[in-house]
Structure 1
Amino acid sequence: MRIVFAGTPETALPSLEALVASRHDVVAVVTRPDAPAGRGRAVTPSPVALAAEAHGIEVLKPAKPSDADFMARLRELAPDCVPIVAYGALIRREALDIPPFGWINLHFSVLPSWRGAAPVQRAIMAGDEVTGATVFSLVEELDAGPVLGTITELIRDDDTTADLLARLADWGSKLLVDVVDHIEDGDIAAVPQPDDNISFAPKLSTDEARIDWNRPAFAIDRHIRGCTPAPGAWTTLGGERVKIGPASIAAESTLEPGHIDAGKREVRVGTSTTDLVLGDVQAVGKKRMAAADWGRGTSLDGASFDAAAPTEGTVA
């Protein structure tokens, strides 16, 4: 089967590599245009573009997938199917209709739960015990197409978004190739998504990543893990922003919400239930460091993180 693959970030790399290694012919890759990246903000090709170039695969970088030149080239390539993973732009009907087997999307949730840009983050923050990945036929409505295959994955107590997404990207790549195999073999049928239990996962904003220390410890813990690595959970100390990495939940409550106790070996912060023991901390203009090291270098006697009102849209 002739394949054009669409994807952009590192999350899409396992699927690209799996398709390249499969029985199918990846004739081109579609990815987002080069963009500033890294500390120096140098304009850089996407991870998918770099991987495709290393394989000698043609790379297409339309500003919009509706661009006339891109549409013409896609018709020339005549793909049978276009698998898509975290591409980052909406695909309109004209493009969807070009491949006879359509565009098939690998999405990192068990649909119809968590349709949208941040399904892994939202699942962790909501306290879900199980998530997964779904391959479905792409339609113009957001993540609403009929399902071709699903896998499930347990969410571990210490999972960050980075941890869980890496596992889902790996297992999901195998699911994606399996679906493409069965499409070519003609022995798979798409199943419409149910009309109930639909939930949405909009992209997390920086404002939403702010920690509210008046919440229970378990909710703050999963809030931090869901925001790691991006956009990064944060709070403020004396008006200065401080990023907070994954923490652990203490067995007892010794502090008022937001109050800090910096000892030689650990830094604790109060919540509405038990204390949190901080893991990594990153102050403005500083590198990320262990909380105990940060505590020893910062005047924290009687200090408290600034209160934060609950952010609208935050999942409890």
Structure 2
Amino acid sequence: MRLVFAGTPEVAVPALRAIADSRHELLAVVTRPDAPAGRGRKVLRSPAAAWADEHGVEVRTPRRPRDEDFLAWLRDTAPDCVPVVAYGALVPPAALSVPAHGWINLHFSLLPAWRGAAPVQHAVLHGDEVTGASVFQLEEGLDTGPVYGSLTEPIRPTDTSGDLLGRLADAGAGLLVAVLDAIEDGTARAEPQPADGVSLAPKVTVEDTRVRWDEPAFAVDRRVRAGTPAPGAWTTFRDERVKLLPVSLADGVTVAPGELVVGRNEVLVGTATTAVRLGEVQPAGKKRMDAAAWARGVRIESGDRFA
């Protein structure tokens, strides 16, 4: 089939690469416009656009997919299908109707669970033991279209959102190509999503990843892992923000919520249940460092605590 790929972040690149290596013809990549990123706010191409540039594939960056100039280009290009991975913009009916086989979306959950922008982060945050990826027909509703196929993936006890998303992106790339093959062969069958089991996964904000030390230790652990690497779990110490990397549970050790206890080579923090052991931390404006080194540098005193 003749394909136009729609995707933006790094997680879209495995699928883009797999499509380029498949039997299908990759005509172009549609991605979000260049945007400022990093501390210097330098304007950068999206990872999908950067990959396309490197491989000589045409790139389109419409401000909005409903813009008439983009729709005219899409009609002129006349793809058979538009596979989508984390494109990041609402696709209007006028665009959905152009390809003969529509837009086919790779979503990182077992639909209808975790419909929305942050399915992996919510799966980790809520303690799911299993998640997966689904390929479905994109339609006007929020991730509501019929599903062509899915795969499952266990969530490991130490998985961060980044760990899990990386595995799903790699496995999901193969699933997406398999569905595209089946569509071309005429063997694909899309099944409506069940009415039961629907859950929503809205974008995770910076405030969502602020650690609540009055939560149980397992909830603190999940919140930190869900926010890693983005938008980043954090707390405050002496009125300054401190980013937290994954913690571990200190079973059997009880400390007041938020209170810091410094050992020779470890830093414990109290929760509503048992304490957690800090891993790496990143104070505002500084590099990541081991928690024990940070504690020595700030000279933690008895009774000091995270807010």
TM range (shorter): over 0.9
- Percentage identity across paired residues of the two chains: 59
Q: Which residue of 2 aligns with 1:66?
A: 66
Q: Which amino acid in 2 is paired with 1:278? A: L
Q: Which residue of 1 aligns with 2:252?
A: 252
Unpaired runs of 5+ residues, structure 2, are none
Q: Which residue of 1 aligns with 2:81?
A: 81
- Matches of residues 26-45 of structure 1 in structure 2 within 5 Å? 26-45=26-45
Q: Distance in 1 between matches of 2:37 and 2:55?
A: 22
Deviation track 1:165-195 (CA, whole Å, cap 9, x = no partner) reads: 0000000000000000000000011100001
Are positions 1:269 and 2:254 aligned together?
no
Report the more deviating stretch, 87-96 or 278-287: 278-287
Q: Which residue of 2 aligns with 1:305?
A: 306
Q: TM-score, normalised by structure 1?
A: 0.96
Q: Which amino acid in 2 is paired with 1:304? A: R
* Paired residue secondary structure (1:15): helix
Q: Which residue of 1 aligns with 2:192?
A: 192
Shift of the alpha carbon at 1:38? 2.3
Q: Distance in 1 between matches of 2:185 and 2:286?
A: 55
What is the CA RMSD across the aligned residues, in angstroms?
0.7
* Paired residue secondary structure (1:297): helix
Contact 1:246 1:279 in 2 (8 A): yes
Q: Which residue of 2 aligns with 1:145?
A: 145
Q: Which amino acid in 2 is paired with 1:218? A: F
Q: Which amino acid in 1 is paired with 2:179? A: V
- Matches of residues 61-210 of structure 1 in structure 2 within 5 Å? 61-210=61-210
Shift of the alpha carbon at 1:285? 1.4
Shift of the alpha carbon at 1:299? 1.9
Contact 2:254 2:273 in 1 (8 A): no
Shift of the alpha carbon at 1:207? 1.1
- Matches of residues 206-285 of structure 1 in structure 2 within 5 Å? 206-285=206-285
Q: Which amino acid in 1 is paired with 2:59? A: V
Shift of the alpha carbon at 1:252? 1.3
Q: Distance in 1 between matches of 2:285 and 2:42?
A: 20
Q: Distance in 2 between matches of 1:172 and 1:36?
A: 28
Q: Distance in 1 between matches of 2:38 and 2:210?
A: 23
Q: Distance in 2 between matches of 1:200 and 1:188?
A: 27
Q: Distance in 1 between matches of 2:48 and 2:277?
A: 38
Deviation track 1:250-295 (CA, whole Å, cap 9, x = no partner) reads: 1212311110011220100011111100001111111111111111
Q: Distance in 2 between matches of 1:127 and 1:234?
A: 19
Q: Which residue of 2 aligns with 1:310?
A: none
Contact 2:11 2:169 in 1 (8 A): yes
Deviation track 1:125-145 (CA, whole Å, cap 9, x = no partner) reads: 000000000000000100000
Shift of the alpha carbon at 1:40? 1.7
Are positions 1:46 and 2:46 aligned together?
yes
Q: Which amino acid in 1 is paired with 2:34? A: D
Contact 1:153 1:168 in 2 (8 A): yes
* Paired residue secondary structure (1:76): helix
Unpaired runs of 5+ residues, structure 1, are 307-316
Contact 2:78 2:98 in 1 (8 A): yes
Contact 1:227 1:233 in 2 (8 A): yes
Q: Distance in 2 between matches of 1:254 and 1:61?
A: 53
Deviation track 1:138-161 (CA, whole Å, cap 9, x = no partner) reads: 001000000001000000000000
Contact 2:249 2:275 in 1 (8 A): yes
* Paired residue secondary structure (1:49): helix
Contact 2:27 2:57 in 1 (8 A): yes
Q: TM-score, normalised by structure 2?
A: 0.98
Q: Which residue of 2 aligns with 1:313?
A: none
Q: Which amino acid in 2 is paired with 1:299? A: R
Contact 1:264 1:296 in 2 (8 A): no
Q: Distance in 2 between matches of 1:251 and 1:64?
A: 51
Contact 2:281 2:294 in 1 (8 A): yes
Q: Give the total of aligned pairs.
A: 306
